[in-house]
Chain A
Amino acid sequence: TQLLEQSPQFLSIQEGENLTVYCNSSSVFSSLQWYRQEPGEGPVLLVTVVTGGEVKKLKRLTFQFGDARKDSSLHITAAQPGDTGLYLCETGANNLFFGTGTRLTVIP
């Protein structure tokens, strides 16, 4: 059983569109992190959410942690080609558990 389920697995949209990707689990987490990974590179941390219901914004990216701390979403407004990449959610302490990721392609 996958600890973190991400959906959709693949997403291809036109530049300027909005999108939301999801990270779900049956477990409760003390914190959850989102990363973006570009081809041929390692994941880069975007944000950490720790409080149920918390909303954090990073420019055009809005991250939300579910009230029960079992799920999270990432919303991108007016997507740009530079947003293309693999978006991963993750939880854990010393050994991190990653979701399967959402591969986003933004078409110019």
Chain B
Amino acid sequence: DTGVSQNPRHKITKRGQNVTFRCDPISEHNRLYWYRQTLGQGPEFLTYFQNEAQLEKSRLLSDRFSAERPKGSFSTLEIQRTEQGDSAMYLCASSSLDRLRTTQYFGPGTRLLVL
């Protein structure tokens, strides 16, 4: 297994357009997380899934954002009617419970630029 993968790696779009990102977690990891990272900041939590169930959503996840994990494997994050403020790196991570705590493994991210 090569780790968490994300596609596309880069996306440039015009304001008002819809975009969709995909995350493929490490196989057999039952938890999947989405984060957003803006320049000069650490990642900020958006949402997470356990299998196909979306268990928690941050207040950062406005109505224009929707995330799915239909079969409990890959996940998609869609942003509708993009705004310039949506420009950021979108990171995905996956994990399985270990003895001490949940260790999350991050993908390389999708960098979004909204013009």
Contacts and interface: CB of A to CB of B under 8 A. Distances in A.
A31 to B, nearest CB: 6
Interface string B66-96: 0000000000000000000000000101000
Contact of B43 (A40, A93, A96): A96
Contacts of B56: 94-95
Nearest to A94: B48
Interface in B16-54: 31, 33, 35, 40-45, 48
B102 A93 contact: yes
A41 B42 contact: no
Nearest to B93: A42
Contacts, number: 62
Interface stretch (A14-22, A55-63, A64-72, A97-105): A97-105
A48 B4 CA distance: 20
Contacts of B105: 45
A78 interface: no
Contacts of A45: 103-105
Given A41-B108, A41-B109, A50-B100, A95 B48 contact: yes
Given A40-B109, A101-B42, A93 B101 contact: yes
Given A40-B108, A48-B103, A94-B55, 11 more contacts: A42-B4, A42-B93, A43-B106, A45-B105, A48-B100, A90-B42, A93-B102, A94-B56, A95-B45, A95-B58, A99-B42
14 contacts: A40-B108, A41-B108, A42-B91, A45-B105, A48-B101, A48-B103, A94-B31, A94-B55, A95-B45, A95-B58, A96-B35, A98-B44, A100-B41, A101-B40
Question: Which 10 residue pairs of A and B lie closest in terms of their CB atoms, listed nearest first?
Answer: A98-B42, A42-B106, A95-B45, A88-B42, A101-B42, A41-B108, A43-B106, A98-B43, A42-B91, A42-B107
Interface of B: 4, 9, 31, 33, 35, 40-45, 48, 55-56, 58, 91, 93, 100-109, 111
